[in-house]
């Protein structure tokens, strides 16, 4: 009896898998409407992928392989390491970036090369005293790249695009890159081990040098008066209010991450629970980056920050009443979405309000504040073992309080500005 053969597609018919891959690549390239912005997107994606792999390796080394009591001490040290790079790199970058026009490009090149080399060295010294100094160096260079990215972006935004849309494209690229390398990263940690995964991260960092070298660079030195005027605009009340609201969001995210990690660990959910949180946070950040440009059509950047605080705060109050690992994942997703959209909006505010001569200083200063807020929030659950539901309800109440204070503060500033303009008009 002859077997019936399946009908073969015609030779000129393209397989569905190839069609899907081509469309996915086309969609990923859509934000790169200019070659320069495309190179920045590639640089950002490679750096984010390397950072995600490094975070996986460090979390395995510092958190899951040791008892909870020891883990709290190591996590506290890790939090100190995350904020210390800003204290060192911010003053240096603030002086360099705003005075020398071409310094942005070379800082990005040096950041990729330095992170790659230090990560490679870290792979061979995981059980030595060099673990924390090497990790500190990588974090320092990652923070430098983050600061420079915000300062260089306005000069590379495609014509017709808003700053929110451009920042959203960078955040979306970062989230997708981190998610893509997550599965092979976990597989490499399982076998052959953490060292191999770190070598893989180092290779990705090295690849980031290529797009960084191809970015445009200006030459010359700016006058000190131009830099001083730009810094003065970055110190305005409206900017300080935006920093307050965004830092409040970052503080709550820092608290939530470690509060839920220890709460799920106490309930014996361990690696599965953390995997759920990491996945929810990644998808939330991606959703926030996707939502920001759409929200911008009906809200200003400041309104996006308020909407994120209120939405995440109400979710925290509801989830606090019915705490389960699934609801915890939903809460992390909500805060990831709100935090991602708020960060995109905040970056656009800084880029909009601060002239080019002061953007390096502004981003160095503000990113330091945001990281310090995240660390301050993360330290609370390390010191106090709070109940899971109670901590989440507190997060929700604080988030809404920050939104109310920020809204009334903005209204007060607008009223004062309007009064002054009316007074000046009456005198003329």
Residue 255's Cβ-side half-sphere holds a number of Cα atoms within 13 Å equal to 26
CA distances (Å), origin 372, targets 80, 138, 198, 249, 379: 9, 18, 27, 12, 11
Q: Can you list the alpha helix ranges (DSSP code H) found in 236-324?
A: 237-266, 270-296, 301-321
Pick out the chain residues at pLDDT < 50: 1-2, 17, 20-21, 24-25, 419, 421-428
Q: Are residues 393 and 317 in the same domain?
A: yes
Q: Are residues 381 and 253 in the same domain?
A: yes
In a domain, 12, yes or no: no
Q: Are residues 110 and 193 in the same domain?
A: yes
The CATH number of the domain holding residue 262 is 1.20.1250.20
Backbone torsions φ then ψ of 221, nearest 5 degrees: -120, 135
Closest CA to 286 of 341, 327, 204, 367: 341
Q: Are residues 120 and 255 in the same domain?
A: no
Q: Are residues 212 and 311 in the same domain?
A: no
In a domain, 41, yes or no: yes
Q: Are residues 181 and 320 in the same domain?
A: no
* Distance in angstroms (rounded) separating the CA atoms of residues 274 and 329: 9
Closest CA to 93 of 374, 358, 288, 295: 358
In a domain, 428, yes or no: no
Looking at residue 395, its pLDDT comes to 94
* Domain boundaries, position 47: 35-221
Written as six digits, the tokens of 251 are 């503080």
In a domain, 28, yes or no: no
Q: Taking the chain, what is the end-to-end CA distance rounded to the nearest angstrom?
A: 103
In a domain, 26, yes or no: no
Looking at residue 55, its pLDDT comes to 87
Q: Which of 221, 241, 260 is the last residue of a domain?
A: 221
Contact 79, 375 (CB under 8 A): yes
pLDDT in tens, 47-105: 999 999 998 888 777 655 555 556 666 667 667 766 666 666 777 776 666 666 667 78
In a domain, 4, yes or no: no
Give the sign of the dihedral formed by CA 264, CA 64, CA 247, CA 208. negative
Q: Are residues 173 and 235 in the same domain?
A: no
In a domain, 395, yes or no: yes
Place of tokens 């660390």: 375
Looking at residue 24, its pLDDT comes to 45
Closest CA to 314 of 393, 402, 405, 260: 393
Looking at residue 21, its pLDDT comes to 46
Looking at residue 398, its pLDDT comes to 96
Looking at residue 86, its pLDDT comes to 67
Backbone torsions φ then ψ of 324, nearest 5 degrees: -140, 165
Q: Are residues 393 and 284 in the same domain?
A: yes
Q: Which of 200, 221, 242 is the last residue of a domain?
A: 221
Report the chain's mean pLDDT, rounded to a whole number. 81
Question: pTM for the full model?
Answer: 0.81
In a domain, 274, yes or no: yes
Q: Are residues 185 and 267 in the same domain?
A: no
Q: Which of 201, 221, 241 is the last residue of a domain?
A: 221
CB atoms within 10 A of CB 24: 10
Q: Are residues 140 and 265 in the same domain?
A: no
CB atoms within 10 A of CB 370: 20
Contact 256, 376 (CB under 8 A): no
Q: Can you list the alpha helix ranges (DSSP code H) found in 35-162?
A: 35-59, 68-99, 103-123, 131-152
Contact 217, 105 (CB under 8 A): yes
Written as six digits, the tokens of 85 are 């790079």
Find the helix or strand (DSSP H, E) in which 427 lies: helix 388-427
Closest CA to 60 of 205, 183, 178, 185: 185
Q: Are residues 44 and 191 in the same domain?
A: yes
* Distance in angstroms (rounded) separating the CA atoms of residues 143 and 90: 9
Q: Are residues 310 and 375 in the same domain?
A: yes
Closest CA to 166 of 408, 10, 350, 384: 350
Give the count of domains, the chain.
2
């Amino acid at each position: 009896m002859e077997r019936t053969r399946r009908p073969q597609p015609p030779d000129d018919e393209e397989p569905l898998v190839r069609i899907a891959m081509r469309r996915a690549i086309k969609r990923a390239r859509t934000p790169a409407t200019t070659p320069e912005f495309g190179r920045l997107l590639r640089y950002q994606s490679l750096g984010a992928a390397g950072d995600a792999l490094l975070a996986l390796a460090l979390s395995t080394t510092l958190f899951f392989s040791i008892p909870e009591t020891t883990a709290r001490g190591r996590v506290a040290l890790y939090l100190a390491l995350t904020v210390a790079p800003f204290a060192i790199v911010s003053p240096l970058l603030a002086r360099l970036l705003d005075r020398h026009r071409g310094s942005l490009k070379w800082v990005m090149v040096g950041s990729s090369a330095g992170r790659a080399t230090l990560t490679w060295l870290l792979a061979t010294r995981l059980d030595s005293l060099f673990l924390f100094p090497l990790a500190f160096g990588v974090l320092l260079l990652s923070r430098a790249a983050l600061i420079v990215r915000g300062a260089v972006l306005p000069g590379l935004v495609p014509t017709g695009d808003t700053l929110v849309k451009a920042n959203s494209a960078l955040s979306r690229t970062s989230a997708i890159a981190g998610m893509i390398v997550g599965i092979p990263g976990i597989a490499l940690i399982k076998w052959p081990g953490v060292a191999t995964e770190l070598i893989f991260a180092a290779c990705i960092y090295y690849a980031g040098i290529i797009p960084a070298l191809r970015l445009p660079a200006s030459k010359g030195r700016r006058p000190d008066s131009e830099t001083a005027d730009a810094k003065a605009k970055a110190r305005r009340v409206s900017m300080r209010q935006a920093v307050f609201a965004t830092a409040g969001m970052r503080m709550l995210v820092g608290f939530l991450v470690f509060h839920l990690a220890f709460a799920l660990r106490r309930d014996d959910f361990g690696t599965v629970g953390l995997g759920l949180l990491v996945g929810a946070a990644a998808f939330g950040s991606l959703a926030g980056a996707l939502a920001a440009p759409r929200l911008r059509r009906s809200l200003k950047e400041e309104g996006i920050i308020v909407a994120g605080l209120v939405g995440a705060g109400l979710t925290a109050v509801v989830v606090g009443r019915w705490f389960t690992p699934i609801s915890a994942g939903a809460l992390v997703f909500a805060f990831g979405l709100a935090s991602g959209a708020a960060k995109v909006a905040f970056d656009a505010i800084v880029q909009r309000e601060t002239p080019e001569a002061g953007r390096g200083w502004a981003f160095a200063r503000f990113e330091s504040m945001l990281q310090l807020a995240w660390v301050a929030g993360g330290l609370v659950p390390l010191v106090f073992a709070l109940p899971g539901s109670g901590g989440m309800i507190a997060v929700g109440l604080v988030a809404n309080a920050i939104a109310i204070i920020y809204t009334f503060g903005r209204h007060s500033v607008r009223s004062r500005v309007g009064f002054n303009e009316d007074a000046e008009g009456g005198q003329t």
